[in-house]
Amino acid sequence: MVSIVTSDTAVRLSRIVDALDMNLYGAVHGGAILRLIDEAAGVAACRFMEGQMSTVAVDSAQFIAPVHPGDVITCVAQVNWSGRSSCEVGAKVTAQRWDRRLDPARHVATAYLVFVAIGADGRPTAVPGLTPDSAEAERRYREAAIRRDARSSRKQAIEVSRKTAGK
Ligand SMILES: CC(C)(COP(=O)(O)OP(=O)(O)OC[C@H]1O[C@@H](n2cnc3c(N)ncnc32)[C@H](O)[C@@H]1OP(=O)(O)O)[C@@H](O)C(=O)NCCC(=O)NCCS
C-alpha cells in the first residue's frame, strides 16, 4: 500500500480578518475561524489523497483566545492519522496584528477534523497509509487514534442509552 509521509501533508493558509468577520461584541465570529480551518484541513486531506475528500466530522474545535479585526490569522494543518477510508487532520490557528512584525503569534484555536475519501461512485474509498516522520507526528498519530476510539465508544454508549430508554 502507498504510504505518505506526515510532513508532506502540511499546509499553511493565512488571511486578514476585517469588520465583516466581526460579531456584536467586537471580536471575530468563531464561524469565520472555522472556515479557514476547514479550508486548510481540506487542502491537507486532498493532497494526502490526491483525490476528493469530504469533511465528515469536526471532532472538536476549541477557541482559546479572541481574534479581532486587523489580525492576520494563520492556520497550519496536517494529516495526523489514516484509517481505511478516513483520516484525521489537526489544525492550529495563530493570530498576529497585521502591522506588528515582532509581536509573538497568539495561539487562538485548535481543531481536529475527519475527512472521508470519496470514489467515482460517490461512496467511501481507501486512503493511503500515513508514515509519521518525527516524534511529534508519532504523538499526534497516537492521540488521533485515542480520539477515534472515544468517538466509537461515545456512539455505542448513546445507542445503548437509546435502546434502554426505549424499553
Ligand atoms: C462521507 C460519507 C459518504 C460517509 O458515508 P458513510 O455511510 O458514513 O460511510 P461509512 O460508514 O462507510 O464510513 C466511512 C468512514 O468514515 C468514518 N466516519 C463516518 N461517519 C463519521 C463521523 N461522524 N465521524 C467520524 N468518522 C466518521 C468511518 O469511521 C469510516 O472510516 P474508516 O473507513 O477509516 O474506518 C457521508 O457521511 C456523506 O456524504 N457525508 C456528507 C459529507 C459532506 O458533504 N461534507 C461537506 C461538508 S457539509
CA 36 to CA 40: how far, in whole Å?
Answer: 6
Mutate to test the pocket of ligand 1, among 56, 87, 146, 147 (most ligand atoms within 8 A of CB): 56
What's the pLDDT score for residue 137?
Answer: 98
Per-residue pLDDT tens over the stretch 77-122: 999 999 999 999 999 999 999 999 999 999 999 999 999 999 999 9
- Does any ligand 1 atom lie closer than 6 A to the CB of residue 114? yes
CA 28 to CA 18: how far, in whole Å?
Answer: 8
Sheet holding 86-97, edge to edge: 11-16, 71-82, 86-97, 106-117, 53-63
Mutate to test the pocket of ligand 1, among 55, 112, 114, 116 (most ligand atoms within 8 A of CB): 116
SS3 162: helix
Mean pLDDT of 24-50: 97
What's the pLDDT score for residue 47?
Answer: 97
Confidence grade of residue 1 (pLDDT, cut at 50, 70, 90): confident
- Does any ligand 1 atom lie closer than 6 A to the CB of residue 96? no
What's the pLDDT score for residue 166?
Answer: 75
pLDDT at residue 159 greater than cutoff 70: yes
Domains, the chain, ranges and CATH?
3-166 (3.10.129.10)
- Does any ligand 1 atom lie closer than 6 A to the CB of residue 57? yes
What percentage of the chain exceeds 90 in pLDDT?
98
CA of 22 to the centre of ligand 1 (A): 32
CA of 84 to the centre of ligand 1 (A): 11
Confidence grade of residue 41 (pLDDT, cut at 50, 70, 90): very high
Per-residue pLDDT tens over the stretch 121-133: 999 999 999 999 9
- In 3D, which of 75, 87, 13, 15 has the Cα closest to residue 50? 87
